[in-house]
Structure 1
Amino acid sequence: MEPRDSSIENLLSPMDRDTIGEILNISMGSSATTVSTLLDQRVSITTPKVEVVKAQDFHFEALEPAIAVEINYVSGLSGKNVMVLKVSDVRVIVGLLLHTEFKEEDFVLDEMNLGAICEVMNQMMGASSTALSQFLSRSINISPPTSYKIENAEQFKSKYFEAYDPVVTVHFNLMIGDLVNSEFFNLMSPEFARELITSLGSGGEEGLKKEQEQGAQQTPPEPVTQQAAPQPAPQAVSAADPPTGPAAQKPDPQPAVPAVPAADPPVPPVSQPAAQVAPAPQASPARQAAPQPDAPAAPASAYVPAASAPVLHTAGQQPNQPGYAVKGASYQSFDEQDNVLTSGQNSNLNMILSVPLEVTVEIGRTTKKIKEILDFTSGTILELDKQAGSQVDVFVNGKPIAKGDVVVVDDYYGVRITEISSNDEIMKLL
């Protein structure tokens, strides 16, 4: 088979690789918190290093003998990824989970030990899918992980990839207390990696360039808006000026004053001096300062265009309305209720509201026979009726009132409520 023409290095840009590393760093950080609680040890999963290589060039001799854990995504994302871990690390993890110390020569990957590591991976990847759901703003579910020992490296690689197929490898450092200081790999196809980037809404370098171009196109209109803002000012002045005529040639702006009020449409007498009209309350201070004592009266023809022209109202001016009484709006006060509680009733209500109620969260249920329950031992695994990442039920005094998603806050489990009953329904249940 001939190598593909497309360059392996160009399948994912450096920005795409950083994006994948950041996504997996967040999801694996949540997984580390879950495994830490499960094993009662401090767990750290850090420093993701993303590379794209041909399947035939991927080597993991440093991890051999190794175990593979396959995770399939059933909703939210389409695809799978495979984790490759050291058997020695798995031995420590299973020993912590079962509270048993295994010697290296005595540890066998039998059904029980494989089931134990699958349970750890199920909890780990369940927390990872929950973190991805929150990060990508979509519901993501996985199928129960399957694990097996890698007997032959070439057969393992050919199970998922052709010899010249590109493989996205993500290298992680793994630390479990003082017991493990190791590493593991996460393998995925470029298509699955691209789906992660697309789900995040990142288009790599091209998306960043488009955002920069859009930002550059939106920047120039700002100074245009600032230059256009002062233009209405000269228009307002020109609207207040009288029309061309004999009065327009005079520097005295007194004839323009009667054009402002709307309640005085009659033409003032010719014999009335213009200086008497200037103190009108609607005139601006600038207009009041303009008249001079010795200014001659304007001819009557100067007022006719002002009366026939459209009446202009400045902000805050109202036409004179004869005989109207203006009253403020009155609104009903909702604070005044007929059934006002007395001090004794308030005291009783406060006592009722302060009663503590038991709040429990149920992640799932199962049914077992008495014989099976009597066979329970330390390390027994119970399979519940809900998948990892599903919503959990919130109960108050045994009554279901809400649903939510499991979150981790400061190394403690919590629930983010997504659905809740109304207060009336809650009171009826309680």
Structure 2
Amino acid sequence: MMSNDFLSQEELDALLRQIDTLTDMEKDMIGEVGNIILGAGATALSNILGRKVDISTPTVEVKPLSELRNELSGEKVCVVIHFEGAVSGINALVLEKLVAAEIADIMMGGMGAVQSEELDELKLSALGEAMNQMMGSAATSLSDMIKRPVNITPPQVEVLDFSKPDVQFPPVGALDEKVAKVNFTMEIEGLEPAKFFLAMPIPFVKKLYDMIFTPVKEEKPAPAPSAPTKPTQAATVTQIPKKEEKSAVAARPVQFEDFGKTQTTPSTQELVLDERLQLLFDIPLNVTVELGRTKLTLKEVMELGVGSLIELDKLTGEPVDIYVNNKLIARGEVVVIDENFGVRITEIVSPKERFYSLK
């Protein structure tokens, strides 16, 4: 080190290289993290598509964003993911148009054998929903890993033509800054394997590394105050139970043996409560009778037509659920009243069950 505690140019360059790049441990960490969170994303995508989806163990490269930009050619689909919470930053997922078109086709009821790579607004919307579910599961998995909340905003999906010199790469950093390029191979059942990558800013990776290897500190309860030593303080403390005792005595105007006596004059509190309730009596409430529920994939919904049958989760003869403003309050049986459907209440939901049904 030079005199006056100033760093030399060589030392400054070495520090900057450490900030602008990743160590081998950080590369291994981001590869393992990518493997875990994208594995969760693959499971979510598999549930959406109704097909088995596998994602390979990733490889990690560190390079300037300008170099990464120059490696790309033609039209690519870019998905911009904004992470928020304990670790925040913008990541960019880049995949081929053909893969995006195949995923969108399957979500819209097709088989994935597309004749054209063109993506209209409807297909981009379907792809955006798939990426939202996939990266949402990835964020949840990441949150479980670092024991801190991590969320994402709805991903932005767009088609970029990298053959144009003025095309702007998603804002994961300045062109002269380095990024981590995490390469994956995705295999969707019935389709050819496809490669894609996730571009992560270096600060995002380093922050994630620190969070993973820095355990969450549990807040310890504050130590109990030590017993007072001065006589005056002790006297003050001994007076507190006496005050509470007096307060308790003063707060007993009602005796249990007088409970059955007829009150000639209602209390002011009861009158106010009764008046407030009367103000609410004419408020309309929506009463809904639910016969049953089920879950369908987007593909199954797209295949619905006149005459289609939907199987519900209720058996024949089971009571229907009665909701008031979307809150379950009772159950009953369907009846016919003067050519109109009605419901006869057979059970009132207990307060405990009603509490657990709140959403």
* Shorter-chain TM-score tier: 0.5 to 0.7
Residue 426 (1) aligns with residue 352 (2): yes
Alignment-derived partner of residue 43 in structure 2:
33
Give structure 1 regions of 4+ aligned residues with deviation exceeding 4 angstroms: 59-64, 101-105, 359-362, 396-401, 427-430
Root mean square deviation of aligned Cα: 3.6
Indicate which of 64, 73, 82 corresponds to 2:83.
73
CA distance in 1 between counterparts of 2:294 and 2:301 reads 24
**TM-score of the aligned structures, taking structure 1 as reference length:** 0.46
Offset, 1:184: 0.3
Alpha-carbon distance in structure 2 between the residues aligned to 1:428 and 1:102: 45
> 1:100: which partner in 2?
110
Whether the 8 Å contact between 1:48 and 1:172 is mirrored in structure 2 is yes
Q: Greater Rg, structure 1 or structure 2?
A: 1
Flag the 1:93–1:106 CA change in 2: closer, same or farther, 3 A. same
Task: Work out whether residues 8 and 52 of structure 1, in 8 Å CA contact, stay in contact via their aligned partners in 2.
Answer: no
Larger RCO: 1 or 2 (CA < 8 Å, sep 6+)? 2
* Alignment match, 1:378: 302
Structure 2, unmatched stretches of 5+, are: 1-11, 216-291, 305-320, 329-349
Partner of 1:350: none
CA offsets per residue over residues 262-295 of structure 1, 9 Å max, x none?
xxxxxxxxxxxxxxxxxxxxxxxxxxxxxxxxxx
SS in 1 for 2:302: coil
Rounded to whole Å, the distance in 1 between the matches of 2:178 and 2:97 is: 26
Partner SS, residue 58 of structure 1: helix
**By how many angstroms is 1:34 displaced?**
0.8
Aligned 8 A contact 1:55 1:166 in 2? yes
CA distance in 2, matches of 1:167, 1:92: 29
Residue matched to 2:208: 196
Aligned pair in 2 of structure 1 residues 52, 429: CA closer, same or farther (>3 Å)? closer
Unmatched segments (≥5 aa) in structure 1: 204-358, 363-375, 381-395, 402-423
Deviations 1:184-223 (A, max 9, x none): 01001101111111221259xxxxxxxxxxxxxxxxxxxx
Measure, in 1, the Cα distance between the counterparts of 2:209 and 2:109: 40
1:156 partner SS: coil
The aligned length equals 223
Counterpart of 1:378 in structure 2: which amino acid? M
Residues in 2 aligned to 1:427 and 1:116: alpha-carbon distance in whole angstroms = 38
Decide whether the 8 Å contact of 1:35 with 1:123 is kept in 2: yes
Residue 175 (structure 2) aligns with: 163
Q: Note the C-alpha offset of 1:429.
A: 5.6
Q: Equivalent residues in 2 for 1:199-348 (5 A)? A: 199-201=211-213
- CA spacing shift, 1:397–1:190, aligned 2, 3 Å: farther
How far apart, in 2, do the equivalents of 1:90 and 1:187 lie? 18
Select the residue among 159, 163, 181 that pairs with 2:193: 181
Q: Secondary structure at the match of 2:25?
A: helix
Determine the structure 1 residue equivalent to 2:120: 110
Task: Please give the TM-score of this superposition, normalised by the length of structure 2.
Answer: 0.54
User: C-alpha distance in 2, partners of 1:63/1:40?
Assistant: 32
- Deviation string 1:145-168 (CA, Å, 9 cap, x unpaired) is 011111126533385443321111
Q: 1:108: Cα distance to partner?
A: 2.1
